[in-house]
Amino acid sequence: MGFKMGIVGLPNVGKSTLFNALTKTAAAQAANFPFCTIEPNVGDVGVPDARLDKLAEIAGSKQIIPTRMTFVDIAGLVKGASKGEGLGNQFLANIREVDAIAHVLRCFEDGDVTHVEGRVDPVSDAETIETELMLADIESIEKRLQNIVRKVRGGDKEAVQQERLLRAALAALENGQPARTVDVDDDDQRAWKLLQLLTSKPVLYVCNVGEGDAAEGNALSAKVGEMAAAQGNSHVVISAQIEEEISQLEPDEAQMFLDEMGLSEAGLDRLIRAGYELLHLETYFTVGPKEARAWTIKQGTSAPKAAGVIHGDFEKGFIRAETIAYNDFVTLGGEQPAKEAGKMRAEGKAYIVKDGDVLHFLFNT
């Protein structure tokens, strides 16, 4: 299991440049004019994880298979998109299909790159897009409420639940708050997700700064950080231009480049980690001579459900999971030494998988 993150923002904020870096391709045309990205570009990339490389080294694995994640570069939004301005309708439709939103904000000054509003103000830019998404949600909810009136009167349980959730979302939106601020019970989570409200998506603000500000950020990115904290959201500071340059280098050259820029790690790694935290994801590993592989699951996933990520039969016929904590596997030098030291545990159906667990599943066919 990976996740799909939509890269959104106003035109000319660096979305396509960031996408190019993330996917290590030039698939997205980065150009200095609005709507250069007309069809959403989709990039499926491996998630970098140093732990996977270490496990493979210890186990002598012939192949390393990282978990995957998908980025979608979506056309730039403008004011009035909720009414179809620019490429508004297409933009809104594409957003409904992603799990989370990486909202790229321009936090750099550059007279050669046009700003669609004629000034650089990332907080105002964020508010512009949030407003358009909220207006689109309000319009969508009002239409849906009209369409389910008859079913609600007839006592249809799903319609009654849907109406209740829609009205809760509408109340928040009319009060100036996005749908993600609504407190949704566990029993309602599935129905809530099916509503596909644009403002119910979790948001990560990506502050795109110039090369000189990549390490520490600047006054503009600091303002975004304050806004994100006030909303209960998170943010990362990245120079999309640097990331695109790094993505074209060999690993050793890339590390030297990062060191010269005073950066401890690539922005991509920070972005992915922030995305994982945003969606409450974690990773477990399967390791052997043939391959070392990473798998993504939601936090709080049981062992049978984690096994099901590999194959449905693993979940159906689950017997137990032989489990070694990552630190024990590495410190002791592999599966057999960990087993001999009593660090391999047999866990049953109730076990909740932890981030970094090295697992081997036993199941009935």
Q: Helix and strand tally (H, E) in the chain? A: 15, 12
| Edge-first strand listing for the sheet containing 291-298 | 63-65, 291-298, 281-287, 358-363, 318-324, 345-347
Nearest to 203 by CA among 232, 226, 230: 232
Domain tally, the chain = 2
Please check whether residues 120 and 266 belong to one and the same domain: yes
- Residue 324 falls within a domain, yes or no? yes
Residues 213 and 108: beta-carbon distance below 8 Å: yes
pLDDT of 265 reads 82
- Residue 53 falls within a domain, yes or no? yes
Residue where one domain finishes, among candidates 243, 278, 313:
278
Please check whether residues 10 and 73 belong to one and the same domain: yes
pLDDT of 80 reads 57
Please check whether residues 143 and 227 belong to one and the same domain: yes
Please check whether residues 221 and 333 belong to one and the same domain: no
Please check whether residues 64 and 20 belong to one and the same domain: yes
Burial label, 52 (beta-carbon count in 10 A; 0-12, 13-18, 19+): buried
- Residue 56 falls within a domain, yes or no? yes
- Residue 286 falls within a domain, yes or no? no
Please check whether residues 267 and 230 belong to one and the same domain: yes
- Residue 244 falls within a domain, yes or no? yes
Please check whether residues 163 and 97 belong to one and the same domain: yes
Please check whether residues 81 and 129 belong to one and the same domain: yes
- Residue 257 falls within a domain, yes or no? yes
**Residues 112, 115: Cα–Cα separation, whole Å:** 10
Please check whether residues 245 and 322 belong to one and the same domain: no
Please check whether residues 326 and 257 belong to one and the same domain: no
pLDDT of 112 reads 55
Please check whether residues 246 and 326 belong to one and the same domain: no
Please check whether residues 194 and 233 belong to one and the same domain: yes
- SS3 label, residue 283: strand
Domain that includes residue 349, residue range: 300-363
Residue where one domain finishes, among candidates 218, 243, 278:
278
**Residues 214, 217: Cα–Cα separation, whole Å:** 6
Supply the CATH number for residue 319's domain.
Answer: 3.10.20.30
Instruction: Give mean pLDDT in consecutive 10-residue pieces for the chain, a chain of 365 residues.
Output: 80 84 55 41 81 96 89 68 50 80 88 60 90 89 92 91 96 95 93 92 93 90 94 90 85 86 82 85 95 94 96 94 97 96 96 97 90
pLDDT of 26 reads 38
- Residue 290 falls within a domain, yes or no? no
Residues in the chain: 365
- Residue 287 falls within a domain, yes or no? no
**Taking phi first (over 0 means left), then psi (-120 to 50 degrees means alpha), and beta for anything else, what does residue 96 get?**
alpha
